[in-house]
Amino acid sequence: MNFRVDKGSFLNRYADKELAADAEEECKKSEDSCNADRDTINDPLVIPGECGSCLKPTTKEELLSMVLKCANFAAEKHSNQRRKDAAETPYINHPLGVANILANEGSVYDPIVILAALLHDTVEDTETSFEEIEKEFGETVRKVVAEVTDDKSLPKAERKRLQIENATSRSDRAKLVTLADKIYNLRDIQKSPPLGWSDIRVREYFQWAKKVVDNCRGTNSALENTLDSIFAKQCKETRKNCNCIKRLSPVCDESYLCI
């Protein structure tokens, strides 16, 4: 499945019966990877099958309705939450921003990815269950959200270690959400670090984020180039106090990136 396109809009890309029919035909040609019982799975966006990439024929109106429903769902779930930046901005800005980065910077128009981006923190940070997400938005969206959800019962250090370790094996859809999530968070920290964060803690976050990103590479060149630019900018700002290694990179004049 192509996770990056160079033209078209989110609605035009997938609200097309011919595109969806082509996807179903491709799925039928690959029965080995799409062999689930098509009559037992209820998913509003995907033709049942283990591959999870065969999109149903969907109108622009149906897609718009689903995205708005999802955005409203996320807004209600995060309604009492604030970001950790100095301005304490509404938390909903974050999932909306991640979805926006995917569509408008990464040219990602897969509706499964957009919905998962809007929902990616609901289970982890609110009183939302995976069962609720599946009921409202389907099994395929729920699976992507599950891939990017940390287990809050684990210590923070272990959760961060697992994010690095598990990034490699995530689906492309989950990797896309991860890349856009990191872009939003890193930009936020550069603009307005959370209250009480020292320069060392900021640097450690960037170092950890880069390890996660490196394990998601090969997914979307536009998002990865944006992240390289963010890492290079941060390295230049902290060059005197950080440990750097030489790495050839067109986005860094002196060919260095912080790790």
Whether 125 sits among the annotated catalytic residues: the reply is yes
CB 129 within 8 A of CB 121: no
The one catalytic residue among 16, 50, 124, 214: 124
Q: What integer pLDDT is reported at residue 15 of this predicted model?
A: 63
Whether 105 sits among the annotated catalytic residues: the reply is no
pLDDT per residue as tens, the chain (259 positions): 444 433 446 666 656 555 555 555 545 544 444 444 444 456 788 776 556 567 777 788 999 999 999 999 999 999 999 998 888 999 999 999 999 999 999 999 999 999 999 999 999 999 999 999 999 999 999 999 999 999 999 999 999 999 999 999 999 999 999 999 999 999 999 999 998 999 999 999 999 999 999 999 999 999 999 999 999 999 887 775 555 544 444 444 444 445 4
CB 122 within 8 A of CB 78: yes
Assign 78 to helix, strand or coil. coil
Domains of the chain: 10-258 (1.10.3210.10)
Q: What integer pLDDT is reported at residue 51 of this predicted model?
A: 60
Q: What integer pLDDT is reported at residue 238 of this predicted model?
A: 75
* Other residues' Cβ atoms within 10 Å of the Cβ of residue 215: 18
The one catalytic residue among 26, 50, 62, 125: 125
